[in-house]
Structure 1
Amino acid sequence: MGVSGSGKSTVAALLAAALGCQFQEGDDLHPRENVEKMHGETPLTDADRLPWLRRIAEKIDGWRACGECGVLTCSALKRSYRDIIIGGRHDVVLVYLKGARDLIHQRLIARHEHFMPVALLDSQFATLEEPTPDEHPIIVDVGRKPAEIALEIVRRLEDRQPSS
């Protein structure tokens, strides 16, 4: 999870490869109407996000039903969104890619061919509800190279595994 430009897609692809898991770009699950709104620099409402969040939860449930592991990107900016995606799924781990607004702003300026305009970054930070300890998040600073971030996440996931 994290705001646009935090490195979710890049880190998640590296993480999925390292773990031997499926990878799903959460943005690809947005309804067409959401993408059009964001292209038009209109922030999404909770009502806009609900079908998207349900699709994400369905994807996770599909992996779980097949006994597969997966890494899925999603901004998951609010606790209520995370409750839809993760609620009751105790085997799902939340990873928060946390970064300073200025760093992420610079990344968005440098990024091309993405539907999320730089103009919506401030609305994302305004919406952001950082995860709380009861969500058991892995929080990682994004001020490093993506490969280093992915390796840290792998290490921290391994630290959570019970000893045999």
Structure 2
Amino acid sequence: MTDTQMDRATSLVVMGPAGVGKTTTAAGLAEMLAWPYAEADEFHPAANIAKMESGTPLDDADRAPWLASIRDWISAEAHAGRSTVVTCSALKRSYRDLLREADARVRFVCLTATPDLVGRRMATRQGHFMPVSLLKSQFDTLEPLQVDEDGIVVSVDLPADEVVATALRALRLKLAPEAG
């Protein structure tokens, strides 16, 4: 890593299929690091949400402006000198490539679980627009992180606080003083 990379803001993109625990993990990481946090679902245009609520998977054309807005938020925060944590399914390499265009060091925290575990979680959560019926399309679309991508893989078959602790150890990031 060069000196320039070390001085650059970092953005952790907590990724994986719907229901894998992105929000819980990202919120925990943001708290431990004292970094701003954003939920990618808040960047979706209304048409995307309506499409998913109706049980129709998004396609690449639907996702492109959504991913660009997340990338732009990461860049804006980096320009303000802030490292960030954001959730984003980032299921395909091409989606992650678009996010990596941000003016920050973009690192991925890929959360993994079996479809059965995720399906059970999704069936019990309330107030989310993503129906369980779209879970298969999420797993079908998922392209694992490649060795040349800056990221880690963490299984979510542990309690949420252990998932966060495992990710922090693997990322080798310093905790915020008040979190230590």
| TM category, shorter | over 0.9
Contact 1:21 1:70 survives alignment (8 Å): yes
Q: Which contiguous aligned blocks of 4+ residues in structure 1 show a shift greater than 6 angstroms?
A: none
Contact 2:74–2:102 (Cα < 8 Å) also in 1: no
1:37 and 1:110 map into 2 onto residues whose CA distance is 21
Q: Greater CA deviation, 32-41 or 80-89?
A: 80-89
Deviation at 1:159, TM superposition (A): 6.7
2:68 to 54, 57, 72: 54
**Is there any run of 5+ residues in structure 2 with no aligned partner, and where?**
1-14, 175-180
Residue aligning to 2:46? 32
Q: Is residue 75 from structure 1 mapped to residue 89 from structure 2 by the alignment?
A: yes
Secondary structure class of the residue paired with 1:44? coil
Instruction: Write the distance in 2 (CA, Å) between the matches of 1:69 and 1:137.
Output: 16
How far does residue 152 in structure 1 lie from its aligned partner after superposition?
1.1
Task: Give the match for residue 123 of structure 1.
Answer: 137
The runs of 5 or more residues in structure 1 that have no matched partner are: none
Select which of 95, 98, 113 maps to 1:84.
98
The match for 1:132 is 146
Q: CA deviation at 1:131?
A: 0.8
Q: Give distance in 2, aligned partners of 1:28 and 1:89.
A: 21
Aligned alpha-carbon RMSD (Å): 1.4
TM-superposed deviation, 1:126? 0.7
Higher helix share: 1
Q: Which residue of 2 aligns with 1:14?
A: 28
Aligned: 1:104 with 2:127: no
SS at match of 1:140: strand
Cα shift at 1:98? 0.8
* TM-score (norm. length: structure 1): 0.93
The structure where strand makes up a greater share of residues is: 2
Give TM-score, length-normalised by structure 2: 0.85
Post-superposition offset of 1:13: 0.3
The amino acid of 1:121's aligned partner reads L
